[in-house]
A and B are shown apart, each in its own frame.
Chain A
Amino acid sequence: MSRYLTSRVAQALLVLWAAFTASFVLLQFLPGDAVLIKFLNPELGLSPEQLAEIRLAYGADAPLWQQYGHSLLNFLRGDFGYSMQAGVSVAHSLATSLPPTLKLAASGFTAALLLAVALSFLSSQLGFGWLRSALQSLPSLFVSVPVFWLGIMLIQVFSFRLGWVPVINPGPWEGMVLPTLTLAVPISAPLAQILIRNIDAVLAQPFVAVARAKGASRTWVLWRHVARNALLPTLTMAGILFGELLAGAVVTEAVFGLNGLGSLTQQAVANQDTAVLQAIVVISATSFVLINLLVDLLYPVLDPRLRTRLEA
């Protein structure tokens, strides 16, 4: 088990290094750079000499390998540099945007999970042909709904017209209600889809027929037998989706004015703020790696058949 863990951690570090290097290289290929964009702006009216001095101060024209080495060393030391656009250290920007993103990701994901489970179990419970297919086509509807439209509609109805939830300056949990709903809808769709298919697949297996024959009710079979089997592929999907959520729900954040990782990324991309982008890439890669590790560790817990393989 510890050998397994060690090798996974080593893999994780390799992935992080690769992500860092790849993003550094790709960002260099973009025309211009953050210093140029900020200071070449004619509104500042700088002379060519002043511009050259500024570029020197930022080390913008140092050879690539030097910039890369410098950047990598700083990252290892925990110094992420400064955001050219925002005028604060990258660490400060991240410290302010990570908590809202984590909060939103956690609540959005939980709500999506609940919605997906409710949808899939309900659709397998109900016998009605037409209602079943109606429920089973809901995931397609949910994934097609544009996130920004849903967000704005929810705000219009529940905040502006009905006045149930304030959207400007809300309390810490009040402010989560609408964004969570907005995120939960499209995220629940793939989860629900997979769950429904898997439940159907497992229900068709012989052992379920045996359990029913022994006198188990439909519900009992669902919860006791089908759930754990159907959950496995869903877990993998959930891992991927949670990683995406952590990377930032850009549109939701723009609509609700949340200062999370998504809006930070969007601004950094628009301004080619390399320092911020590198930090975000590393964070996103880390979160994906950690979540995948967690999922892989959870699999044996859920499925006894996988446990012996590890112990071997």
Chain B
Amino acid sequence: MTSHAFLPQATTLARPLAALALALVLAGCNKAPDTAAGAPAAGAATAPQNGGTLVYLEQQAHNALYPPNGGFYPNGGILNQITDKLTYQNPRTLEIEPWIAESWSINADATEYTFKLRPGVTFSDGTPLDADAVAANFDRFGLGDKALKHAVSEVINNYARSEVLDPLTVKFHFRQPSPGFLQATSVIGSGLVSRSTLALSLDELGDATRIIGSGPFVVSGEVLGKEVNLQARDRYNWGPVKLAHQGRARLDAIKIIVTPEDGVRIGALLSGQAGLIRQVQAYDEKRVNERKFPLYAASTRGVNDSLAFRPDNELVADLKVRQALLHATNSKEIVQTLFSTNYPQAKGVLAAGAAGFVDQSAELAHDAERARALLDAAGWKLQADGIRAKDGRPLALSTYESLNYVQNREVLQLVAQQWAKVGVKLNVLSGDLGSKTIDSLDPEKIALLPAMVGRADPDVIKSNYYPTNRNLLLQKGGISQKVKSFEDRKLNGLFEAIAAEPDAARRLELTGQVQRYLLEQAYVIPMFEEPQIYAGAPWLHGVDFEAVGRPSLYAAWIAPH
């Protein structure tokens, strides 16, 4: 076989192969700076400019856009741009300010709310946003609709009925005092939608083009599972009254693109292919900071990321065991090992910026010695294998990881390591959603569960722990059939009092009492505050966040770059 004729072929093959290999290796080393984008322009113009399309990268696709499902961040990101609410909660002061409602009055025991609406507001299909429309919306959010599979909104309690007094005045009646309702009209779950949207069943609300709101942006198109295109609404003229910017939104359009892979989202931002991204993990923050791109850590102002016990479970029914585990947990180590300064260590049950926050850092001190002493006193003796046991039963607890919460698997593994030091075994289970949903309702199987929720109102604490709400402690009276007997009357009494107390100051005081009681009984172990982390391009200005961390792009603008 004559081979010399093919020699040139061999070398021409080798060079490109070698170049490709080298390029791939270099890509892996992060030493070389990103040269593609060049130095980020300062976006020098100080005066806001109109126009432009913002590319916003989301981590997941949205699902059914029924407003009370707006808690899911991909849903909230869309709903916050296309719907307006009756009132606006100032994200900095947490005060309730006028928006679609110009003014309101509440009766003495918070069972009647009357709202006077501003005139001239229309939905993007032309129908008026008047008292009838508002009444229809809240009738649905407050009472639900079985046939359409619309569930009752979590934030509305004791809703009785609505009453239209005149085209611009609507009154709501409640069976019991409902002091949280005013704040409830400002949350993402109370975005006002048109009658045609309310007529759709939950099975059809996954099509974003059918959601008609009155907001500064309108859904102009969608590729299901991939992108949602929003167009600015020219006639828009009814933003929150106290905002500096009024009238039409500054941006012409927003393109929301689903980009599940973390590295691709960040790389796209840093190389100029996107203007705003949601969800930057703590370990990726350095990349963004190095390039001097702004990082927005929007607080969620609710209950901290914590572990909630199920005291119905025999092993954790003992107060001493729960207290021991609380002191065995080292939140500072968790925050320092896994997170960044944007994730403050928990100082109490609620986030520091939450309504009614009480500082209880002293009760949350890490103290392994005290934990061991408590466990010894409770009769749990350390065995040869390092795990404590009593009456032949080892102190082994199980929990499911909750991938909704940031780095939850890593957090639970670190907690398991910390608890192992005092002789307690924590099994971190990861299963399919079906098993997890069913098992989580059984306190004997799952002794504790991670929990966190964002809402800037004292009601948030009730909605987390009350039996007919989220019932995180698994008390009797909720949807679980497996709870044997656990019920804390004192705690529930406090929740009921908060939900029914019309006086704002007294409500906050009761919230403080609940927080102290929760930690006295060591029902929960708060670990850290979980913000929503966004990163933006340096030429993007005016991005704001509502009280629970959803982006508000009404006043956002793009500087020339």
Q: Is the CB of B63 within 8 A of A85?
A: yes
Contact A152 B433 (CB under 8 A): no
Q: Does A50 contact B151, Cβ atoms closer than 8 Å? A: yes
B223, CB-defined interface residue at 8 Å:
yes
Q: A89-B204, A128-B10 are in contact. List 17 more A-B contacts (CB 8 A).
A: A31-B438, A36-B438, A42-B469, A42-B472, A43-B453, A43-B470, A54-B149, A54-B151, A57-B146, A87-B206, A126-B6, A127-B3, A131-B10, A160-B271, A168-B273, A259-B61, A259-B226
Is A92 interfacial (CB 8 A cutoff)? yes
Say whether B204 contacts A88, CB under 8 Å. yes
Q: Taking the nearest CB of chain A, how far is it from the CB of B454, in angstroms?
A: 11
Report if A59 contacts B (CB, 8 A): no
CB-based contact B2/A37 at 8 Å:
no
A57 to B223, CA, bound (A): 29
| Of B27, B205, B258, B468, the contact of A161 (CB 8 Å cutoff) | B27
- Residues of chain A within 8 A of B28, CB atoms compared: 153
Q: How far is the CA of A84 from the CA of B23 in the complex (A)?
A: 44
**Nearest residue in A to B146 (C-beta to C-beta)?**
A53
What 1/0 mask marks residues of chain A from 12 to 43 whose CB sits below 8 Å from any chain B CB?
00000000000000000011110011011111
Q: Does A162 reach chain B (CB closer than 8 Å)?
A: yes
Q: Give Cα A42–Cα B469 distance, bound, in whole angstroms.
A: 7
Instruction: Show 14 A/B contacts (Cβ-Cβ < 8 Å), sorted by A.
Output: A31-B434, A32-B435, A40-B437, A47-B468, A87-B65, A87-B203, A93-B225, A96-B226, A97-B224, A131-B10, A169-B273, A254-B260, A257-B260, A272-B434
Establish whether residues A32 and B64, one from each chain, have CB atoms under 8 Å apart when the complex forms: no
Which residues from B are CB-within-8-Å of A51?
479
Contact of A48 among B24, B154, B479 (CB under 8 A): B479
**Are B270 and A160 in contact (CB-based, < 8 A)?**
yes
Cross-interface CB contact of A264 among B32, B225, B258, B463, cutoff 8 Å:
B225
Interface size, chain B (Cβ < 8 Å):
71
Proximity bits, A220-258, B CB within 8 Å = 1, else 0: 000000000000000000000000000000000011111
CA distance A86 to B202 in the complex (A): 10
Contacts of A306 in B (CB 8 A): none
Q: Are A33 and B24 in contact (CB under 8 A)?
A: no
Question: What is the chain A residue whose CB lies nearest that of B453?
Answer: A43
Q: Which residues of chain A are within 8 angstroms of B71 by Cβ–Cβ distance?
A: 43
Quick check: is A146 within 8 A (CB to CB) of the other chain? no
| Total contacting residues, chain A, CB less than 8 A | 67
CB distance A254 to B433 under 8 Å?
no
Q: A153's contact among B24, B61, B223, B471, by CB below 8 Å, is which?
A: B24
**Hey, what's the 0/1 contact readout for A163-206 against B, CB within 8 Å counting as 1?**
10011110000000000000000000000000000000000000
Q: Give, as a whole number of angstroms, the nearest-CB distance from B198 to chain A.
A: 14
Knowing A127-B1, A169-B257 are in contact, say whether A153-B224 is a contact too (CB < 8 A): no
> How far is B205's CA from A47's CA once the two chains are assembled, in angstroms?
23
For residue B66, which residues in chain A have a CB less than 8 angstroms away from its CB? 87
Nearest-CB distance from B486 to chain A (Å)? 16
Task: Report the minimum CB–CB distance from A70 to chain B (whole Å).
Answer: 16
Give the residues in chain B near A168, CB-CB below 8 Å: 55, 57, 257, 259, 268, 273-274
Distance in Å: Cβ of B466 to nearest Cβ of chain A:
9
User: In whole angstroms, what is the CA distance A187 to B192 when docked?
Assistant: 50
Is A11 positioned at the interface, with any CB of B under 8 Å from its CB?
Answer: no
Asked if A125 is an interface residue, CB under 8 A from chain B, the answer is yes
> Are B273 and A167 interface neighbours, CB within 8 A?
yes
B264 partner residues in chain A, CB cutoff 8 A: 152, 155, 167, 255-257
Does B441 have its Cβ within 8 Å of any Cβ on chain A?
yes
- Measured between C-beta atoms, what is the minimum distance from A280 to chain B in Å? 14
Report which of B64, B205, B258 forms a contact with A257, defined as CB distance below 8 A: B258
